[in-house]
């Protein structure tokens, strides 16, 4: 389909359509989040030629990179990044989690004790970018020395470190915002990369949004979070327009959903009715999530048969479906 080709999107669960222009640069459609729909997955492109790929195209990336981002704290970013990565790894894909949050929750979740030596963490990479590494190692060495094997097959992590905090100002003032993308473009051997971000739009979350192909947005069914979602989607749209044409919003992940309570149902319905790309899978609230954090064991290892583990599997399947060419 040539650039600027007009398309029409139909959500099969509703009678809503959206018109726009196709843009190959954006790895998909020139607009997002504007399609009136009730479900993300059933989109059909009805433009001709009929062999047009689905909403998100399989672009055969060297490594598919997802960022999990929301400026609101505690919505489930680390939980979702780590559990999706763990499931992905069980399917035989070599998978990497990059923890860009100084809190280091994903690092602790997947490795247990936090990594004490900053030169074994992502801080080493950013120091090398600034050529501040005391051991004279250079940026060219890439990420190899900071990738840690986890106890779980096919799953690796680049941990975070509190040293990220003081580095931030210098990275920002020296315009190093593209360095993460550059190094990940050259990283070989990983099929999938999940990037966990801090609850703030800072140098690291912006680097991640620039480096990623897909963005997942957790939503915790709170009225304040709903208002913040619109700001958040604008931020992502701006990052896409200014820095990363290849970024696509994969969807909003409804987390801690209480299906029997009226308010969460109403909040999610309103998001869907206003055309936001809400994913179909709901993650319920479960005490097992906290337990899995404290045991440093992703849910599919801690409680493989539990409802919440099945929900994470369903979310992973839903995202895999969005990834494929239809």
Based on the shown chain and the rule CB under 6 A, indicate whether residue 59 belongs to the binding site for ligand ATP: no
**Binding window for Mg ion (CB under 5 A); candidates: 53-61, 99-107, 187-195, 228-236:** 99-107
Contact by Cβ (8 Å): 301, 278:
no
Contact by Cβ (8 Å): 241, 32:
no
Strand, coil or helix: what is 191?
coil
CA distance 156 to 178: 23
Based on the shown chain and the rule CB under 5 A, indicate whether residue 105 belongs to the binding site for Mg ion: yes
Based on the shown chain and the rule CB under 6 A, indicate whether residue 309 belongs to the binding site for ligand ATP: no
Count the site residues for ligand ATP by CB under 6 A.
19
Note the Cα 65 to chain centre separation in Å. Answer: 7
Among 66, 179, 214, 293, binds ligand ATP (CB under 6 A): 293
Nearer to ligand ATP, 37 or 97 (CB): 97
Per-residue b or e along 42-63, where b marks 16 or more CB atoms closer than 10 Å to that residue's CB: ebebebeeeebebbbbeeebeb
Nearer to Mg ion, 71 or 78 (CB): 78
Minimum Å distance from CB 289 to ligand ATP?
Answer: 4
Based on the shown chain and the rule CB under 6 A, indicate whether residue 272 belongs to the binding site for ligand ATP: no
Contacts of 272 (CB under 8 A, 6+ apart): 37, 38, 39, 278
Nearer to ligand ATP, 37 or 283 (CB): 283
Contact of residue 74 among Mg ion, ligand ATP, none (CB under 5-8 Å per partner type): ligand ATP
Interface mask (CB under 5 A) for Mg ion, residues 51-90, using x and -?
--------------------------xx------------
The residue assigned the tokens 């860009």 is: 100
Among 6, 73, 112, 153, binds ligand ATP (CB under 6 A): 73
Nearer to ligand ATP, 163 or 191 (CB): 163
User: Measured between alpha carbons, how far is residue 286 from residues 258, 304, 308 in Å?
Assistant: 10, 14, 7
Based on the shown chain and the rule CB under 6 A, indicate whether residue 290 belongs to the binding site for ligand ATP: yes
Strand, coil or helix: what is 214?
strand
In terms of DSSP H, where are the helices of 60-187? 77-90, 105-111, 122-129, 164-173, 179-185
CA distance 58 to 2: 17
**Binding window for Mg ion (CB under 5 A); candidates: 52-60, 97-105, 151-159, 299-307:** 97-105
Minimum Å distance from CB 218 to ligand ATP?
Answer: 6
| CA proximity to 213, closest of 189, 235, 232, 236 | 236
| Contact positions vs ligand ATP (CB under 6 A) | 73-79, 101, 103, 105, 199, 255-256, 283, 285-286, 289-290, 293
| Contact positions vs Mg ion (CB under 5 A) | 77-78, 105
């Amino acid at each position: 389909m040539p650039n600027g080709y007009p398309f029409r999107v139909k959500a099969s669960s509703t009678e809503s359509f959206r018109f726009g222009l196709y843009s190959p640069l954006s790895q998909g459609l020139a607009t997002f989040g504007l399609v009136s729909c009730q479900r993300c997955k059933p989109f059909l492109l009805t433009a001709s030629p009929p062999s047009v790929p689905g909403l998100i195209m399989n672009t055969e990336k060297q490594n598919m990179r997802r960022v999990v981002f929301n400026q609101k704290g505690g919505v489930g970013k680390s939980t979702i990044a780590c559990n999706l990565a763990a499931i992905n790894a069980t399917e035989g894909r070599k998978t990497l989690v990059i923890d860009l949050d100084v809190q280091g929750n994903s690092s602790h979740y997947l490795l247990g004790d936090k990594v004490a030596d900053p030169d074994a963490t992502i801080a080493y990479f950013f120091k090398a970018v600034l050529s501040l590494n005391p051991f004279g190692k250079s940026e060219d060495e890439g990420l190899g020395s900071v990738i840690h094997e986890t106890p779980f097959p096919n799953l690796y992590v680049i941990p975070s470190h509190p040293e990220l905090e003081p580095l931030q100002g210098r990275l920002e003032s020296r315009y190093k915002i593209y360095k993460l993308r550059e190094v990940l473009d050259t990283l070989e051997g990983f099929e999938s990369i999940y990037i966990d971000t801090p609850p703030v739009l800072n140098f690291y979350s912006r680097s991640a949004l620039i480096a990623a192909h897909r963005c997942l947005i957790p939503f915790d069914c709170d009225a304040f979070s709903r208002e913040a979602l619109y700001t958040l989607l604008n931020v992502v749209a701006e990052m896409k327009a200014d820095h990363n044409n290849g970024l696509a919003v994969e969807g909003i992940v409804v987390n801690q959903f209480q299906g029997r309570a009226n308010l969460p149902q109403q909040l999610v319905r309103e998001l869907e009715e206003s055309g936001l790309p809400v994913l179909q899978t709901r993650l319920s609230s479960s005490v097992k999530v906290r337990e899995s954090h404290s045991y440093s064991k992703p849910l599919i290892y801690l409680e493989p048969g539990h409802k919440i583990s099945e929900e994470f599997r369903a979310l992973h399947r839903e995202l895999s479906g969005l990834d494929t060419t239809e």
